[in-house]
Amino acid sequence: MQYEIKGAPFPVAVLNVAAGEAIKCQAGAMCWMSPNMQMETSGGGIGKMFGKALTGEALYENKYTAQGGPGMIAVGSGVPGNILAIDLTGGKTIIAQKKSFLASEMGVNCEIQKNFNGAGLFGGGGFIMQKFTGQGMVFIEVDGSIVEYELQPGQPMKIDTGCLAAMEGTVQMNVERVQGFKNVVAGGEGLFNTTLVGPGRVWLQTMSIPSLAGALAPYMPAK
């Protein structure tokens, strides 16, 4: 498969596939495609559908297969931002924010990542995330712009949890309470920050959807 990402801040991933090749994507993600792309919708079983409900994804996903020759399909992000393409080849594991899955090659697996430690319960991003493993490309929705860092072993980075788009599975995530009464009350950062500790790559997003909604709320008409 070959791909090209176009059109930020409302991007699409244009995927070009060989004859007989298939991709899977979030329900409703398809924007346009060549006429030989055949669609098949599935839920993946009760357990998998329950997991999708927890992560905020649609309960069903679509499989598109190129019939009789090469095909093309464009899948679009549901939020203003970017699309992050990650190659899982080589046994890489990616942990991403919930509702991040957009599309992938068929060899990619998507599972629930449960964070029952303080980072999940109090870090501001919820205790349910998504874990991607397997072989092939996965395309992840990112809110706002993407900033990438490579953390060295033991290197920490403190972030607002809403800024975490994705990280490699080797990165540790911990929570720290904001110190000082005035900082908590007037600082605008809440009670907790999240600390990421390397080694591994992290992808940060500049504007989470809750932050965007909060910024727009004063300009919305009252009900």
Every domain of the chain and the residues it spans: 2-215
Position 176 confidence tier, pLDDT thresholds 50, 70, 90: confident
Mean residue pLDDT of the chain comes to: 83
Percent of the chain at pLDDT exceeding 90: 59
Q: Quick one: tokens of 4?
A: 């090209």
Angle at 148 between CA 146 and CA 150, to 5 degrees: 170
Measured distance CA(157)–CA(159) in Å, rounded: 6
Q: What pLDDT is recorded for position 161?
A: 77
Give the domain 2-215 fold. Answer: Double-stranded beta-helix (3.60.160)
pLDDT value at 192 more than 80 = no
Q: Where are the beta strands (DSSP E) in 27-171?
A: 30-33, 37-42, 61-66, 71-76, 81-87, 94-96, 101-105, 108-114, 128-134, 137-143, 146-151, 156-159, 164-168
Q: Per DSSP, what are the bridge partners of residue 14? A: 4, 74
Average pLDDT of span 183-190: 46
pLDDT value at 205 more than 80 = yes
Q: What pLDDT is recorded for position 49?
A: 46
Q: What pLDDT is recorded for position 196?
A: 95
- Per the listing, tokens 């190129």 go with 66
DSSP conformational letter for 130: E
